[in-house]
Amino acid sequence: MDVKVKKLDQKDFDEFLALIGVFEEVFEMKGFKMPGEKHLQTLLAKDGFLVFVALLDGKVVGGLTAYTLQQYYSERPLVYIYDLAVLSNYQRRGIGKMLMEGITTFCKGIGVEEVFVQADQADQHAIAFYQATGGIAEQVVHFYYPLVNPSDQ
């Protein structure tokens, strides 16, 4: 299996759309409505937004998105992995590990202090994956404040 990990830039819009489709399938996002093309192109062009995909024979079979966060405690930024998924038919073949290696290698190269990611306590597969790829678990409680009613979107 010849999988290639690629960091996307603004010219790779179709691969970005394909990755969103992977997220929609893997995360079972019923009723998902794709944001507008202009919004997604603008996001993809931002320096602080990172997208890596795993390609098999030119097809996006997995990927991740991440955000660069500037700190006030340090001059070195942090990177937060927002989503990571691999199509179910391609899971447990090392593709997720390749994606993690891709982003951590890239981040080391640009002087990032730390890469971090959250996993739901109930998602034992994700927790095991992040531990197997060298992640160090830290227990936190995540709070959120919904500002938009989902039916308004």
Straight-line distance from the first to the last Cα atom of the chain, in angstroms, rounded to the nearest whole number: 40
| Angle, in degrees to the nearest 10, between helices 13-26 and 37-45 | 110
Summarize pLDDT for 10-53 with one digit per residue, the tens. Answer: 999 999 999 999 999 999 999 999 999 999 999 999 999 999 99
Count Cβ atoms below 10 Å from residue 75 Cβ, excluding itself: 9
Q: Which two tokens stand for residue 151?
A: 């039916």
**Can you give the residue ranges of every domain in the chain?**
3-152
Ordered alpha helix ranges (H), the chain: 13-26, 37-45, 95-109, 124-132
Does the global pTM surpass 0.85? Answer: yes
Q: Which fold has domain 3-152?
A: Aminopeptidase (3.40.630)
